[in-house]
Structure 1
Amino acid sequence: MNVRSMPHEMLNNVLEFIRPAFVQAAALCLRDGPDGPEVLLVQTLRREHWITPKGWPMRNKALNQTAAIEAWEEAGVRGTISQDPIGAFTYTKIKKSGLPVQCRPLIYRLDVSELSDTYPEAKKRTRKWFSLADAANVVTPPELKALLQRLDQQSGQT
């Protein structure tokens, strides 16, 4: 049985076993909305899912700097980025070759201070502000969902 004929789930399990997940950098873009904190999500390039801006590590950049750059490129936001990650999630990316790859973005909080209508991926992606609770309902990765729910609970306790 070659790799291409192997059932997707079986191949995914084999690859998870033999190779650790690739690290990425993600930005959780937050602002104060009229009814509480809001998070900016972007649609994936295939417009299948809502997700945080994220990307591969960049040469000579710390992961939090990479997350801030991805937030600008994918969502048109700038702001103050945390030094340390506030969480992480795992997802499967299907490469152009058709092979699934496990990715683990580390999530950095970005407090948004600037929102632009002109940014590198403006024509490729849809962006939308969500309440933390609504964002938790539309994202797929369980760890990201749990982080958003936890932040929503914490915001209600203040």
Structure 2
Amino acid sequence: MLKLDRLFRDYVAPMFRRPKRLQVAALCHRTGKRGKEVLLVTSRGTGRWIIPKGWPIRGLASSEAAMQEAWEEAGVKGDTPQDQAIGTYSYDKWSNSGLPVPVEALVYSVEVDSLAQDFPEAHQRRRRWATPAEAATLVDEPELKSIFRNIDS
């Protein structure tokens, strides 16, 4: 069985790999009672903690598309994000066919002014403020954990 696993991992699976697709993400933050806090939301599918992210939007800069995702997924009202991404992280998004699609997410910093109670995905997600150190323990993606650890120092 071990040989079959290795055969699949080393020879068959790479034939189905595609180039990484690009997404944009918003690292939403504020200064709260505990100092710097970041906003996490749950994913719609698995309910795990993530940051708002989505596909680029035609006609918008990547940072503006990240802000649009922050509004739709978390109800964030804030300043226009910085033009430069503060980092990237990779993960596999599972397609309807069951195959993984490799994705690289560009992360933009968003200072949160306020949160709306009514926003497009309000009934599909939960929100949570966390310190960057807490957020690093709650998300699954190693590179996103590193981004949280870097802003915490």
Specify if TM > 0.5: yes
Percent identical = 43
- Kindly report structure 1 stretches of 4+ aligned residues shifted beyond 6 Å: none
**TM-score normalised by length of structure 1:** 0.86
1:27 aligns with 2:26: yes
* 1:3 aligned residue: none
SS of aligned partner of 1:25: strand
The 1-side partners of 2:26 and 2:19 are apart by 22
1:46-73: CA deviation from partner (whole Å, max 9, x where unpaired): 2341111000011111110100000000
* CA drift at 1:95: 1.0
Q: Which residue in 2 is equivalent to 1:109?
A: 109
Are positions 1:40 and 2:39 aligned together? yes
8 Å Cα contact 1:47-1:125 kept in structure 2:
no
CA contact (8 A) 1:42 1:75 kept: yes
Match of 1:151, SS?
helix
Flag the 1:132–1:12 CA change in 2: closer, same or farther, 3 A.
farther
Aligned amino acid, residue 100 of structure 2? P
1:15–1:101 contact (8 Å) kept in structure 2: no
Aligned equivalents of 2:46 and 2:100: distance in 1?
18
Q: CA RMSD in A?
A: 1.8
Paired residues of 1:12 and 1:100 also in contact (CA < 8 A): no
How far is 1:12 from its partner?
A: 5.2
State the alpha-carbon separation in 1 of the partners of residues 77 and 16 from structure 2: 36
Residues 8-55 of structure 1 deviation map (CA, whole Å, 9 limit, x = unaligned)? x73654444xx3210100000000011110000111112341111000
Mapped to 1, the partners of 2:148 and 2:15 lie a distance apart of 30
Q: Which amino acid aligns with 2:146?
A: A
Q: Which stretch has the larger CA shift, 68-77 or 89-98?
A: 89-98
- Residue 43 of structure 1 contacts residue 49 of structure 1 at CA under 8 Å; is this kept in 2? yes
Equivalent residue, structure 1, for 2:51: 52
Q: Which residue of 2 aligns with 1:141?
A: 141
CA gap of 1:94–1:82, structure 2 versus 1, over 3 A, is same
Residue of structure 1 in register with 2:68 after alignment: 69
Letter in 2 for 1:79: G
Residue 89 of structure 1: SS of its match in structure 2? strand
Between 50-59 and 40-49, report the one with greater CA deviation: 40-49
Paired residue for 2:122? 122
* Separation in 1, partners of 2:77, 2:29: 11
Matched residue count: 145
